[in-house]
Structure 1
Amino acid sequence: MARGQSTPEGRGIGLEVSDPAQMAALRAWVRQQPGVRTSLAEGTPGAGRLGAADVLSVVAGSTGLLAVVRTLPDFIRSRRSTFRIETTVRGERLTIDATNVEDVLPLLERLLDE
């Protein structure tokens, strides 16, 4: 599923993590939201990269997807200070970490709400 796309089941977003060991924890965290479906896909390497990070695809209705996004700051803050989540929504590549979450979250919400 392409990131930031709509499907017949709802809207979706893809999430990548800076620490692959945290992917299972993120998936469990996201699944706590009602009506959310997740799948894990192998990422594709970018230009000049040898490997690629796995992508957690999250699909839900617009309310569920926004609920997931609003819980990300708590997940990020519960991890190491260097932990970050990356996503692309409507062509905008966003990186969310403990230092910028208050600035990036409103932008991400707005992009998902459009």
Structure 2
Amino acid sequence: MPEPLPDQGAARVPYACTVTVSELADVGPLFRRLTTIPEATVTRQHARPEDDELGGAEVLQLLVPSAAVLSLVIRTLPAFIRSRRSSVTVTITRGDRSVTVDGTNLPDPEEVLEITQRLIGDD
């Protein structure tokens, strides 16, 4: 079950996701791209290192008000990944569900709805 999110005025944001990027240099460009999506709130945060890692990573926290906005976020990933010079992997996690997109499995428009449903589950 997703954690309740703080009220933002009269509207509540029902979907909170964490977005990780395989290359640290690509976090900023993805952050800037996602902040252009209307109704999506994106913040950058430092993640704690895992037990076997030396340094922390940077992740994006994504708050969206609806499945439609989450679908729009997912639709932006293929163009972002194609625009990068190196191979980049983007993972969106919501609760115990996650979806990873990279250069080998870029979603087409029909798959975007399936990916969104996988992240949202039975909410």
Q: Same fold (TM over 0.5)?
A: yes
**Runs of at least 4 residues of structure 1 off by over 4 A?**
103-107
Query: Where does the alignment leave 5 or more consecutive residues of structure 2 unmatched?
Result: none
Normalising by structure 1, we get a TM-score of 0.79
Quickly say closer, same or farther: Cα 1:112–1:101, change in 2 above 3 A.
same
Quickly say closer, same or farther: Cα 1:105–1:43, change in 2 above 3 A.
farther
Let me know the Cα RMSD of the aligned residues. 2.4
Aligned residues: 111
1:5-20 matches, within 5 Å, as 7=5, 8=7, 9-10=12-13, 11-20=15-24
1:1-114 matches, within 5 Å, as 7=5, 8=7, 9-10=12-13, 11-62=15-66, 63-102=68-107, 105=112, 108-114=115-121
Identity %: 29
Quickly say closer, same or farther: Cα 1:53–1:105, change in 2 above 3 A.
farther
Query: Where does the alignment leave 5 or more consecutive residues of structure 1 unmatched?
Result: none
Normalising by structure 2, we get a TM-score of 0.74
> Of the two, which has the highest radius of gyration?
2
1:45, distance to aligned residue in structure 2 (A): 1.5
1:80, distance to aligned residue in structure 2 (A): 2.5
Matching residue's letter, 1:57: Q
For the residues of structure 2 that align with 1:31 and 1:93, how far apart are their CA atoms?
A: 21
Q: Is the 8 A contact 1:85 1:97 kept in 2?
A: yes
